[in-house]
Each structure stands twice: as structure tokens, then as C-alpha cells.
Amino acid sequence: MTADIVITNIGQLLTAQGDKAVGGARQNELLTLNDAYIAVYDERIIAVGEGRAPEELMDEYTAEIDAKGRLVTAGLVDCHTHLTFGGWREDELKKKLLGVGYMDILKEGGGILSTVRSTRQMGEQEMFERAEGFLSEMLAHGTTSLEAKSGYGLDLDTELKQLRVHRMLKEQTGIDIASTYLGAHAVPTSFLNNKEGYVSYICEVVLPEVAKEGLAEFCDVFCEQGVFDAADARRILAEAKKFGLKAKLHSDEIHDIGGTAVAEEVGAVSADHLTATTEEGIMRLKHSGTVATLLPCTSFYLNKSYADARAFIAAEVPVALGSDFNPGSSPNLNLQLAMNLGCLRLKMTPYEVLTAVTLNAAAAINMADRIGTIEVDKQADLVIWDVMNLNELVYRYGTNRVDTVIKKGKVVV
């Protein structure tokens, strides 16, 4: 078989291996090839190796891309984003500078609830076009697959609108998107002082509709003091499971209120944020094989403490990194910044960081069987970086280091 594309002259090809999340020392083990090539046919990788690409892979129709001795990795996977929302929240910056807390802004009816108002007003087509713009920006920064959460509608119509936009984006852009229903993101004002009523609404009204239309693979809950407690999360995720939705949790972002215990009980695919997680919580995630998705861009923007990545790695819990792109706590969709902070603030090694944004992130959205590594038969999602090696990529920050992006075997950037 001859290839459609052969990338030649790769100075450093770095990839995790396999189709499962890796923790502990294995998170730091990458396959390194020097002076390497990758051959792509249709949507897949058909050959990877060192030295010159074998003649039989090429004919006059094969496009050769010269990597000019630079770094090539698998396409980045952003396993935690809030992709679809109306408006921004730049006005909150002033309050933030005056020292008003994130949760205080929410209690005043701002924060998530202000984005809920803008998201409800936004038409489906407008939401689609805006999110499509975000996807192009993400691709330009090396992100070739992602997870997208609802949670800025809270009511049935708007939640379905967000989830339908995820589906339209998947169908029309070809980008792999894992869709997550996050109805339990805040208690809407229509259920003021009636959290129980809203939890019932999620379970009895929205979840059945989401499932009927097949709009989400995952269900997520913001498990936090003053938002949804562990019992709410347990109830919602158990109900979601009946509809075939797998569990994710926003857990221990500000306080540890037992989110990781729920993650263990329900066998969550990932638990995310984890800045306040205790040793006991870490052990729980270990037992349930849950991926710990850490979100350093959020800590950076909120000027809060960072998750203890080293403790998760020491306990052999696989760590992933996501952008948490959203208008309130992480108005950034460039996953390269999460990589920089992964090293600089989470004290992860460059190899651990690369695993965290490729294989482990893919596992955090149940896609590791087809994306997240550079291996024969995996999908051809690749980035040629404008740096000579991984150290340079995680050390340079503030500018986009992408040169070329290949998604499903097509050059898209």
C-alpha cells in the first residue's frame, strides 16, 4: 500500500504507547524516534520508523512533508472544555481584582448564572458558528480532539441546544468530540432554594431526553460546597448510568466534599480539577481506575493553588491535563499553556506532560483505542511543532508553536 502522506525528516518523534491510560513511572515513558518518518493512508497511520521512509510507501501521488528536523507528536486531546456558551465575562475581571471571590460572584447571580442568561438567548446556528470558530483556534494550537460540556443552559431546551451543537460540530467538522451533559453545573434561579427539585428535574426530565436523542456519552456534576453535594452527584450519576452515560466529576476544585468517593463508587472515567484532594481521595481514584484530569489554567486564572500532580503520579493514578476552556475560570483554549504550567507549576516532567495531553487525555474521554499515540492503525492526528524537541515546547510559552496539524489524515493547519 502506498501512502497519501509521508512526513519525513522528523528530528524527534515522541509518543506514548498503547490504548489505556498510564500512571506512575509509565506516564514518564515515551517512545522516542530520531530521524523518523510517519506514513499516512486515508485516516490512519500505516507506518512509523527511523531513517528514510521505505521506497514502497511512496509513489507519484504521495505528498511528502519535510518536518525539517523538528518535533512531531500526536495531536493534542483537550479532555475538559466548556465549548458552547454565550457572551464572555470580562466584566468580572474588575471584581476579581478587587478581591471578590469566584463563588461570591456566583452567589450574587453572576458567574455561571450570567453565562446561563447569555447562552439561553443565543440561537442554535449562532452557537454553532461561534463554537466552530473556537474549534479552528484549537486546531491552530494543536488540539485535534476534545470533550465539550453543556451546563450553561440548565433548562431542557438550552441544554439540548448545546448538546445538539456538539453533535453538529462532530458531523460537520470531522473533529472528534466527546459530548458531556453537565446539567448539574449550577442551580438555576427558577429553582432558587429548591436544589432537590432541580436534581429531580435533571434526573426525570432532562436526562431521559438527552438519552433519547443520544446526545451525550458522559454525565458530569459540579460537586462543590454550596453547589451540588456528594448525595446529589451520586443520585444524578446513578440515574445517568441507567441511560448508558458514563460518569465524570468536577471534584475538589475548592473544597473536598466527597466527590472522589462518588467517583470511586460510580467508577467515574475521570475526576477533574482535584486541587483540594487528600491522600484518601487519591487512593479512591486509584482503586476505581479513574483518570485524574488536572486543570492548571484554571488555577492560574483564579490565582488559586495548583493540584498536587506529583502525589497522583506517585500513587500511580494516571494524570491528564485539560484547558477547562470556559468564560469564567479559564478563558483560554490553548492547551500548550496547560503544558507549560504542567511543568512549571505542577512539577511534571515534559514526558509526563505529553502523556497527559495525549494518551491519558484520550483515555479520559474513552477514545484511547483510536487517538492519543502515534502507532500503526491509530488515527492520523499529528502535529509538527515549530521547535526541535519537547523540552523547547514546554519551555517556550506565550506564543503558538504549531507548524502543521494533520487531522484524520488531512492537513488542516
Residues forming contacts to ligand NIG in the complex (CB under 6 A) are 111-112, 115, 222, 250, 253, 298, 324, 326-329
Min CB(320)–ligand NIG separation in Å: 14
Name the maximum alpha-carbon separation found in the chain: 70
- 220 with 159: CB under 8 angstroms? no
Helix (H) or strand (E) segment spanning residue 311: helix 309-314
* 321 close to 353: Cβ distance less than 8 angstroms: yes
Residue 80 Cβ vs Fe ion, minimum distance, rounded to whole Å: 6
78 is a site residue for Fe ion (CB under 5 A): no
Q: What is the DSSP letter of 206?
A: I
| Side-chain-facing half-sphere of 113: CA atoms under 13 Å | 17
- Select from ligand NIG, Fe ion, none the partner in contact with residue 401, using the beta carbon and a kind-dependent cut-off of 5 to 8 Å: none
Whichever of 115 and 290 has its CB closer to ligand NIG, that residue is 115
Residue 335 or residue 354: which is nearer to ligand NIG going by CB? 335
User: How many residues bind to Fe ion according to rule CB under 5 A?
Assistant: 1
Contacts of Fe ion in 282-341 (CB under 5 A): 324
Q: Is 220 in the site for Fe ion (CB under 5 A)?
A: no
The nearest distance, CB 152 to ligand NIG, in angstroms, is 7
Q: Which does 111 bind (CB under 5 to 8 A by kind): ligand NIG, Fe ion, none?
A: ligand NIG
Instruction: Give me the least distance between CB of 124 and ligand NIG, in Å please.
Output: 20
Rounded to a whole number of angstroms, the minimum distance from the CB of residue 153 to ligand NIG is 13
Residue 281 binds which entry of ligand NIG, Fe ion, none, CB below 5-8 Å type-dependent? none
CB atoms within 10 A of CB 171: 9
- Cα distances (Å, whole numbers) of residue 18 to 271, 355, 368: 22, 11, 8
Position closest to Fe ion via CB:
324
By beta-carbon proximity to Fe ion, the closer residue of 224 and 381 is 224
328 vs 350, beta carbon nearer ligand NIG:
328
CA angle 107, 113, 116 (to 5 degrees): 175
Shortest Å, Cβ 179 to ligand NIG: 16
Closest CA to 401 of 341, 349, 353, 334: 334
- 224-236 burial, b if ≥16 CB within 10 A, otherwise e? beebbbbebbbbb
Sign of the Cα pseudo-torsion (336, 342, 348, 352, in order): negative
Compare residues 153 and 350 and give the one whose CB is closer to ligand NIG: 153
Q: What are the CA-CA distances from residue 180 to residues 209, 248, 253 (Å)?
A: 14, 9, 19
Q: Which does 299 bind (CB under 5 to 8 A by kind): Fe ion, ligand NIG, none?
A: none
Closest CA to 413 of 375, 385, 372: 385
Q: How far is the CB of 332 from ligand NIG (least distance, A)?
A: 12
Q: Give the residue nearest to ligand NIG (CB).
A: 328
State the residues that interact with Fe ion by CB under 5 A: 324
